[in-house]
Chains A and B, each alone.
Chain A
Amino acid sequence: MPEFEWGFTLVLLTNGVMIGLMYALIALGFVLIYKATDAINFAQGEFVMFAGFIAAGAADIFALPFWASALLSIGGMVALGFGLERIVLRPLIGRPIIAVVMATIGLAAVLRGVATMAFGAGTRAIVMPVSDEPIELGIVMLPPVQLVGAGISLAFLAAFTWFFLKSRIGIAMRAVADSQQVAMAMGINVRRYFALAWAMAGVVSALGGVVWGTMLGVDNQLALVGLKVFPVVILGGLDSILGAVIGGLIVGVVENFAAGYFDPYVGGGTKDFAPYVLMIAVLMLRPEGMFGRRRIERV
């Protein structure tokens, strides 16, 4: 039996929660796109990477302060979101799922190539104006960067939940996701809402890119965090904002506990493994996740 130390467990837990909220930040973009346009975005990691590059590049080339480059990144990602929706997604409306999936996979390759060509292959740093020293609460150490990221995640959770429940635009988006034809019949401009959804996802990706970029540095390996998105959204439900956050928390905590308690026995690596095993279990038992909507197939 591994030594069950309370202190260590608490540290693992807090670390897991913090990292989980960061994963949630990436998953939010994915969920937004799926919720509004029914498209599975395999390029979510690359969105985050590209946003990070824009921020880091702007800070480097134009010597902009952090806030300006973050804003520039948001603006750039919104433009990218609009553009991508127009060029890539719109022609593929109504096509089978695999078409959209492959399109986003192709998009991922393009973004990686363009980013490296435009910004070079070296690792760039984003410097957030927060201190590097972790805040200590007893034995628990909270790095300010992760606190910022967690704060942003929670803020988005609140904002998007309100948005989809109460605001007019949000409700319209849900209508579009539910049934495009009926929405069009009710006079909703489906195309505009698609574009809006992708733009919003761009904003989320931009903030995610800035936060992750500060944590890890920006280069084309940053896109690999995108793979983590899948366990998170499967656990939480592909179209649930709350699910993205809760799913993220669970994945973060499970990973940390696996690394802390299982790794010594298996020779390491369970950290990567555990979320996917969990994911398969969820897929078998309750594919729509904890908060997702049950998909009913109509003949």
Chain B
Amino acid sequence: MKRLSEAAIGLALGAAMFGFAAPASAQKEVLIGTQCDRTGPTQIVGIRICPAQQDYFSLINSKGGIEGFKIVAPEIDNEYKVPPAVEAYERQKQQGAVSMALYGTPQVQALNQKLTEDKMPATSPGFGISAAADGGRFPYLFPIAATYWSQGAASIQFAKDKLGGSLKGKKIAYVFYDNPAGREPLPILEDLQKIEGFELRSFAVPPPGVEMGAQVLDISQRYRPDFVIDHLFGRSPSVAIKEYKRAGFPLSKVLGLVWASAEADIEAAGGWGVAEGYHTMQFAGAGDDFPVRKQIKELYKAQGKEPPKEMDDTVIYNRGLLNAALHVEAIRAAIKANGGKKPTGEEVKKGFESIHDFTLDGLVPPLKVTAADHEGGGWVQVFQAKGGKFVKETEWFRAYPEVVAAAVKKAE
């Protein structure tokens, strides 16, 4: 017993010694702190989005870095829990991060105040706090991609277009994962219901969302809506697709919001044959046909390695590229503005707010980030699962910006 305690103390000391992290060295380096969830409920996303970010940073580094500064991007797994996320934030802050790529809505909410206190800009593309589109109230939080509110509004617009231009008297079902992130679009949908005159019914899927037979039955047999909006995460989108197929409900009447729309979901549901006709909303371009992906593949080949299989899920992988690319552009703008020195958090914030017309050949929508609008416009694009892959169905569009803006203003 004694020996055990001695050994324990020794191990603890040894580990602690190695924990003294060296801050980013004086060489020309910028540190971007990233967090991920590779083992928790959203691992289906995390294991693809995070390597994508690292790949993009490696690509930029191979071309000489950002204006000569090498990117160092340590990644910490927060298991979708809050205390590890807080600890990861503190650790990366201590290491000298100039910007952070956060992961997870509860984590963003927990760290929000600290971002402002520490003047640390952070991104939360496609998740996080919808009200953060307001750059005045959330100066250091950047959604830089359609928030849940914009996604909700866009989905109604898409339904409207699909149903012949008018929603009066039509029935819409909103299926959502029963947690705060899943409920977030509800106020927008209810606002739009008053404006457009459709009937709305919502169906909650309790976590973990692996059993939703009753809800799907209700939809397909009783409610029989004209259109279904699926706002699900993690495993539940694939389960939903399977259930719709089983119940015989046509998937061409279903639109999945951004986290229900990856190749991984289609495959987990049983393959493209099962999901034929399913519409998916994206905030980053889907598919392989982008120059930046080719460059990354070449980078791997040059190192004698195969491109990683995470690239096969183009939807989620490309989102990681989007996130990383916007960080790079913000830091680039900051370095250019301060004359080639290592940027501070405040300068990177201004760098984010200067992003416009950066589209990475269509992978990134035509964002226009300003000090007042940290969302960049709320652009989305819809792809459809057809014949074994995602086919572009619409161009980049945004919907009901006034309704969304009113909601942002109203939020506390």
How far, in angstroms, from A143 to B210 measured CA to CA in the complex?
16
- Shortest CB-to-CB span from A22 to chain B, Å, is 9
- Shortest CB-to-CB span from A73 to chain B, Å, is 20
Within 8 A of B (CB), among A38-75: none
How far, in angstroms, from A15 to B217 measured CA to CA in the complex?
9
- Shortest CB-to-CB span from A264 to chain B, Å, is 7
How far, in angstroms, from A270 to B411 measured CA to CA in the complex?
28
How far, in angstroms, from A8 to B222 measured CA to CA in the complex?
7
Known contacts A216-B239, A221-B41; A255/B210 CB under 8 A: no
Within 8 A of A (CB), among B102-158: none
Known contacts A8-B221, A216-B210; A123/B264 CB under 8 A: yes
Known contacts A8-B221, A256-B213; A125/B38 CB under 8 A: no
Give which listed residue, A5, A19, A121, A268, contacts B213 with CB less than 8 A: A19
Whether the Cβ atoms of A116 and B39 lie closer than 8 Å is: yes
Whether the Cβ atoms of A217 and B235 lie closer than 8 Å is: yes
Whether the Cβ atoms of A267 and B202 lie closer than 8 Å is: yes
Known contacts A132-B274, A260-B218; A220/B43 CB under 8 A: yes
How far, in angstroms, from A219 to B39 measured CA to CA in the complex?
10
Cβ of A107 under 8 Å from chain B: no
Q: Residues of B contacting A16 with CB < 8 Å?
A: 214
In the complex, the chain B residue whose C-beta lies closest to that of A116 is B39
Contact with A along B279-292 (1 / 0, CB 8 A): 00000000000000
Q: Residues of A contacting B43 with CB < 8 Å?
A: 116, 121, 219-220
Known contacts A132-B270, A143-B246, A259-B215; A217/B221 CB under 8 A: no
In the complex, which range does the number of interface residues on chain A fall in? 35 or more
Whether the Cβ atoms of B206 and A271 lie closer than 8 Å is: yes
Interface residue tally for chain B (C-beta within 8 Å):
38
- Shortest CB-to-CB span from B178 to chain A, Å, is 5
Whether the Cβ atoms of A121 and B210 lie closer than 8 Å is: no
Cβ of B234 under 8 Å from chain A: yes
Q: Residues of B contacting A134 with CB < 8 Å?
A: 246, 248
Q: Residues of A contacting B211 with CB < 8 Å?
A: 19, 225
Give which listed residue, A3, A225, A256, contacts B214 with CB less than 8 A: A256
- Shortest CB-to-CB span from B182 to chain A, Å, is 10
12 residue pairs of the A-B complex, CB under 8 angstroms, read A15-B214, A19-B213, A116-B43, A122-B47, A123-B44, A123-B267, A123-B268, A132-B245, A143-B246, A217-B238, A268-B176, A268-B206
User: CB within 8 Å of B: which residues of A?
Assistant: 3, 5, 7-8, 11-12, 15-16, 19, 116, 121-123, 125, 132, 134, 139, 141, 143, 216-217, 219-222, 224-225, 255-256, 259-260, 263-264, 267-269, 271-272
The 3 A-B residue pairs whose C-beta atoms are closest, nearest first, are A268-B204, A259-B214, A272-B206
A15-B217, A220-B43, A263-B204 given; 11 more Cβ-contact pairs under 8 Å: A15-B213, A19-B213, A121-B43, A123-B44, A132-B246, A216-B210, A225-B210, A256-B213, A259-B218, A263-B203, A269-B204
